[in-house]
Amino acid sequence: MLNEKTIHVIKSTVPVLEVHGVAITKRFYERLFTQHPELLNVFNHANQKQGRQQTALANAVYAAAQHIDNLANILPVVKQIAHKHRSLGILPEHYPIVGENLLAAIKDVLGDAATEEILDAWAEAYGVIADAFIGVEAELYEQSREQVGGWADFRAFVVEKKVRESDVITSFYLVPQDRQALAVYEPGQYISVKVDIPGERNTHIRQYSLSDAPGKAYYRISVKQEDACEEKPAGKVSVYLTEKVKEGDVLHVSAPAGDFTLKQEERPVVLISGGVGLTPMVSMLTTLAEKSARQVTFIHAAQNGNRHALREDVERVTQDNPRVSAYWSYSQPTEQDREAGSFHHEGYIDLKWLQEIVPEKAASYYFCGPVPFMQSIKKALTDWGIPADDMHYEFFGPAGNL
């Protein structure tokens, strides 16, 4: 436990972190990768270049400082990050490296303002926070390793089938190379895929939601090919998987992880997705349709029919099932879409349309997609008066702020 003096010093740095947090975390990653380039095999380089990782860490440090007198308040965030760490292979020996470079980054950015008292307080606080992460992650590693068909590190899987789902999304059906048992998972969870791309110096790891219901003889991921645009570079792993990986090739995969899962309750469920954000939602939908008596409304937004993936999967689930309904919103429908009448709403999902199609307002709402999409959905639900506890969402990549 931290003493009152340490807590007071940490609390006094909250305003400083609010202003300089991103600068500190940016400097932290510069130091970390200079002194430990082997860690470039773990971190997502694209998130580094876009600043997403730096911002996520700054938010986490800021939250830790705010709640240093009651760290139980940030335990849900610790668990969420711990799931990602377990899926990436983060180990206890990594934490001293992080702590050393984080404290040095604070000193580099704040200069003389980072007094010995402040640095000592943060060193003590970091030790407590690191121990919390290490403890949670140890439990997750044990759970992963000890379950039937489980494993703790990365395991070789064969691409049994590769299916083009839309102009931009491709599904990969993965089976264990050793043909041994396959660990079950909760709908909404993800796996990490580790690849060595020819010509690349570092290994790359990316996390992909499992897009089918648990209990199958395979894991399925549905990958959007991220081509280069003004906002960001091309996704190295998604392009490699889509263009180079073939049926019969081997990929190395971590056991399923993640806490974006269905709550155990009997209330109606509303699943709202945008783009490739439908992958965890399809897993949830299929599971609910097969194993639950709950009423489910599935709402998906896509640019048009050419970019609408897994539509047949959803329609197969909803067919002859009065408890389940599905709706499509296309922002730029094609003439073929219009002629076929293959969508229910033109434009972006808005509150007015949600109120028309959601049969019961008192429900649990799950949503996933690009950050602007999730911001829009969260605002619409908030304006409708949906309690925050009834809203559940997942970021693809480092956690952000809606």
Per-residue pLDDT tens digits for 376-394: 999 999 999 999 999 999 8
243 catalytically annotated: no
Active site residue 360: no
Annotated binding site: 85, 190, 206-209, 275-280, 395-398
- Annotated binding-site residue numbers for heme b: 85
Domains and CATH numbers, the chain: 4-146 (1.10.490.10), 154-254 (2.40.30.10), 269-394 (3.40.50.80)
Which of 29, 62, 95, 126 is an active site residue? 95
Kindly report which listed range (40-44, 51-55, 94-98) carries the lowest average pLDDT score. 51-55
* Predicted pLDDT at 398: 59
The pLDDT of residue 400 = 62
Q: Where are the beta strands (DSSP E) in 99-189?
A: 154-164, 169-176
pLDDT of residue 171: 98
Judge contact between 351 and 372, C-beta under 8 A: no
pLDDT on residue 346: 97
Residues in Cβ contact with 386 at an 8 Å cutoff, skipping those fewer than 6 apart? 361, 365
Most confident of 65-69, 132-136, 304-308: 304-308
* 29, 62, 126, 137: the active-site residue: 137
- pLDDT given at position 399: 64
Q: What is the mean pLDDT of residues 352-370?
A: 97
The per-residue pLDDT for 339 is 96
What is residue 323's predicted lDDT score, i.e. its pLDDT? 95
Question: In 265-290, which positions are buried (b, 16+ CB within 10 angstroms) versus exposed (e)?
Answer: eeebbbbbbbbbbbbbbbbbbbbbbe
pLDDT of residue 231: 66
- Three-state SS for 282? helix
pLDDT tens per residue across span 204-256: 999 999 999 999 999 999 999 987 666 677 789 999 999 999 999 999 999 99
**In this structure, are strands 204-209 and 345-346 parallel, antiparallel, or unpaired?**
unpaired
Round to the nearest angstrom and report the end-to-end CA distance of the chain: 32
Closest CA to 127 of 115, 117, 119, 138: 119
| pLDDT band, residue 7 (cuts 50/70/90) | very high
What phi and psi values does residue 257 have, to the nearest 5 degrees? Answer: -145, 170
> What are 328's strand-pairing partners?
300
Cα 399 from Cα 402, distance rounded (Å): 10
Interval 272-308: pLDDT, tens: 999 999 999 999 999 999 999 999 999 999 999 999 9
In terms of Cβ atoms closer than 10 Å to its own Cβ (0-12, 13-18, 19+), residue 19 is exposed
Binding residue positions for FAD: 190, 206-209, 395-398
